[in-house]
C-alpha cells in the first residue's frame, strides 16, 4: 500500500515538473516587451527642466520606443498626465500590458525675480526720500509678486546735495536673487524749477474709451471710470485689449530685429495713482506737478500707456539714444504708439521729459503725429 502511494506521489511530481517546463517553453516563445532610448535598452530615464518650461509627455519627444518582439508598440503605450506646477521630482509611468517604463522629471527654478522701476530719481535738498517713489516692483516666475520683500542697501542724506547709489535686492524661494541699482540725486535747494503750468478750466473727457482721447492736467477722466477690456501682457501688467495686441506685435517685431523692449509700468488704478502722487508730493512738493500726474490725469489710468525699458527692466533718461530707444523712434508709430513727453515739448505737455513713456493712439493718428512732430496737445489745439 505504501509503495502504491509512493508511486502515485512520484507520478504527480513528474506531471507537475513537466507542466512547469511546458509553460516555461510556451512563455519563452512569446514575444518579449522591451523599451529603448535612442536604440539602447532602458528601464527608466531622468531629466531636469526649468520651471515654466513646456514639456511634452509623448514617448517620441524624448526618443522612447517600445517593442514587442520586433513589432513597434510605441503608439500603444499608456502614460500618466502631469501638470508641472511645483518644484519637485515627478514620476511618469509608461506602460504596456505588465511592462513599465519610468520617466523622472525634476522641476527646478533657476530664474531670478525681475525688479522693475525707476533707476534714477532727483529730489530737492531738504525733502524726504522713500523707496516708494521709485515704483519698484518685483515679480518671480514661481513665487509671483515679491514687491513687499525688496530690501534696500544704502542710504540717502537728503540734506546734503550729491549722488547716492542704492542697491535693491530680492531673493526667491529657490535662492535666486535679483539686484537693482538706483541713483538718487539730491539737488541743491532751488536748483530745479518746474515750468509754469497754465491754470485753465478742467474738463472731463467725454469718451474715455476713445483711444485717441487727450488726458492731461486740463482734460481728466471721469471719477470712478476704469477700462473694461484690460488684458494681461508681459510681466503681469495690464493694458486695454487693442493696446495689448499692438504691444505684443511691436515687441515681437523688435525681437526679430535683435532688439529687446520690456514693459516696466502699464495700467494703474485711480487709487494707485493717487497714492503715487502723494508720495511724490511728500518728497518734493515744488516739482511734483512736473514729475507726476494727479489721479484722473494720468494716461496710465486709461490702460493705454506704457513705460518701456530695454533688457534690464530699468527706466533710463537716455533711453532714446539706446538701440531699443532708436528702434522705437523709428517703428513705434507703425504699431500705434507715440513718445508722449518729448524733451523739446515740456512747456506744451507740462511734464518733464520721459524717454520711456509711450502712449497708444492707434496707427492712423500715430503716423500723423510722427510726420507732423506734434504732441497730442498740439493736435487738439
Q: Which run of H or of E encompasses 7?
A: helix 2-28
pLDDT for 191 beyond 70: no
In angstroms, how far is the first alpha carbon of the chain from the final one?
127
pLDDT-derived band at 134 (thresholds 50, 70, 90) equals confident
Q: Does residue 20 form part of some domain?
A: no
Q: Are residues 174 and 221 in the same domain?
A: no
Q: Are residues 319 and 249 in the same domain?
A: yes
Q: What is the CATH number of the domain that holds 143?
A: 2.60.40.10
Q: Are residues 43 and 102 in the same domain?
A: yes
Q: Are residues 219 and 361 in the same domain?
A: yes
Q: Does residue 23 form part of some domain?
A: no
Q: Does residue 24 form part of some domain?
A: no
Domain span at residue 310 reads 203-379
Q: Are residues 361 and 219 in the same domain?
A: yes
What is the per-residue pLDDT for 288? 86
Q: Does residue 355 form part of some domain?
A: yes
Which residue's C-alpha cell is 531738504? 126
pLDDT-derived band at 196 (thresholds 50, 70, 90) equals very low
Q: Does residue 277 form part of some domain?
A: yes
What distance in Å separates the CA atoms of residue 270 and residue 289, rounded to the nearest whole number?
17
Region 58-73 average pLDDT: 94
Q: Are residues 149 and 279 in the same domain?
A: no
Q: Are residues 217 and 332 in the same domain?
A: yes
Q: Are residues 290 and 142 in the same domain?
A: no
What distance in Å separates the CA atoms of residue 341 and residue 152, rounded to the nearest whole number?
30
Into how many domains does the chain fold?
3
Least-confidence region, from 214-223, 271-280, 281-290, 327-336: 281-290
Q: Which of 187, 212, 233 is the last residue of a domain?
A: 187
For residues 250 and 93, the answer to whether their CB atoms sit within 8 Å is no
- The residues, ordered by sequence, that sit 6+ positions from 123 with a Cβ below 8 Å of its Cβ are 129, 133, 156, 158, 184, 185, 186, 187, 283, 284
Q: Which of 108, 136, 154 is the last residue of a domain?
A: 108
Q: Does residue 275 form part of some domain?
A: yes
What distance in Å separates the CA atoms of residue 104 and residue 106, rounded to the nearest whole number?
7
CA angle 232, 237, 240 (to 5 degrees): 55
Q: Does residue 174 form part of some domain?
A: yes
Q: Are residues 288 and 139 in the same domain?
A: no
Q: Are residues 225 and 164 in the same domain?
A: no
Q: Does residue 118 form part of some domain?
A: yes
What distance in Å separates the CA atoms of residue 297 and residue 290, rounded to the nearest whole number?
12
Q: Are residues 287 and 339 in the same domain?
A: yes
pLDDT above 90 as % of the chain = 67
Indicate the DSSP class of residue 311: T
Q: Which of 187, 214, 232 is the last residue of a domain?
A: 187
- Please write the tens of the pLDDT for every residue from 266-311: 999 999 999 889 888 888 888 888 889 999 999 999 999 999 999 8
- pTM (2 d.p.): 0.57
Q: Are residues 224 and 158 in the same domain?
A: no
Region 248-256 average pLDDT: 96
Q: What is the CATH number of the domain that holds 299?
A: 3.30.1380.10
Region 202-223 average pLDDT: 94
Q: What is the CATH number of the domain that holds 75?
A: 2.60.40
Amino acid at each position: 500500500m505504501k509503495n502504491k502511494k509512493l508511486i502515485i506521489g512520484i507520478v504527480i511530481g513528474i506531471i507537475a515538473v513537466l507542466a512547469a517546463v511546458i509553460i516555461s517553453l510556451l512563455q519563452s516563445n512569446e514575444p518579449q516587451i522591451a523599451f529603448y532610448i535612442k536604440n539602447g535598452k532602458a528601464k527608466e530615464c531622468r531629466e531636469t527642466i526649468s520651471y515654466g518650461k513646456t514639456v511634452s509627455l509623448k514617448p517620441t519627444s524624448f526618443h522612447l520606443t517600445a517593442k514587442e518582439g520586433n513589432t513597434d508598440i510605441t503608439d500603444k503605450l499608456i502614460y500618466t498626465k502631469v501638470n508641472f506646477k511645483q518644484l519637485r521630482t515627478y514620476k511618469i509611468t509608461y506602460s504596456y500590458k505588465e511592462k513599465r517604463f519610468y520617466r523622472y522629471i525634476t522641476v527646478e527654478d533657476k530664474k531670478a525675480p525681475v525688479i522693475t522701476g525707476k533707476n534714477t530719481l532727483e529730489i530737492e535738498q531738504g525733502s524726504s526720500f522713500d523707496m516708494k517713489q521709485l515704483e519698484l516692483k518685483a515679480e518671480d516666475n514661481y513665487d509671483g509678486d515679491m514687491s513687499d520683500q525688496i530690501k534696500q542697501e544704502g542710504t540717502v542724506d537728503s540734506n546734503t546735495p550729491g549722488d547716492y547709489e542704492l542697491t535693491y535686492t530680492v531673493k526667491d524661494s529657490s535662492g535666486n536673487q535679483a539686484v537693482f541699482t538706483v541713483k538718487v540725486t539730491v539737488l541743491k535747494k532751488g536748483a530745479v524749477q518746474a515750468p509754469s503750468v497754465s491754470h485753465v478750466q478742467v474738463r472731463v473727457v467725454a469718451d474715455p474709451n476713445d483711444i485717441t482721447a487727450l488726458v492731461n492736467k486740463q482734460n481728466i477722466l471721469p471719477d470712478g471710470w476704469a477700462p473694461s477690456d484690460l488684458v494681461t501682457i508681459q510681466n503681469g501688467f495690464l493694458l486695454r485689449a487693442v493696446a495689448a495686441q499692438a504691444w505684443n506685435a511691436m515687441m515681437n517685431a523688435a525681437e526679430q530685429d535683435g532688439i529687446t523692449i520690456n514693459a516696466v509700468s502699464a495700467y494703474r488704478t485711480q487709487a494707485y495713482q493717487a497714492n503715487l502722487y502723494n508720495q511724490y508730493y511728500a518728497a518734493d512738493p515744488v516739482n511734483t506737478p512736473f514729475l507726476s500726474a494727479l489721479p484722473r490725469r494720468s494716461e496710465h489710468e486709461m490702460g493705454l500707456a506704457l513705460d518701456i525699458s530695454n533688457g534690464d527692466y530699468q527706466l533710463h533718461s537716455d533711453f532714446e539714444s539706446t538701440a531699443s530707444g532708436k528702434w522705437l523712434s523709428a517703428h513705434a508709430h507703425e504699431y500705434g504708439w507715440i513718445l508722449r513727453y518729448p524733451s523739446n515739448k515740456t512747456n506744451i505737455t507740462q511734464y518733464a521729459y520721459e524717454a520711456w513713456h509711450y502712449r497708444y493712439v492707434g496707427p492712423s493718428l500715430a503716423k500723423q503725429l510722427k510726420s507732423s512732430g506734434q504732441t497730442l496737445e498740439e493736435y487738439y489745439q
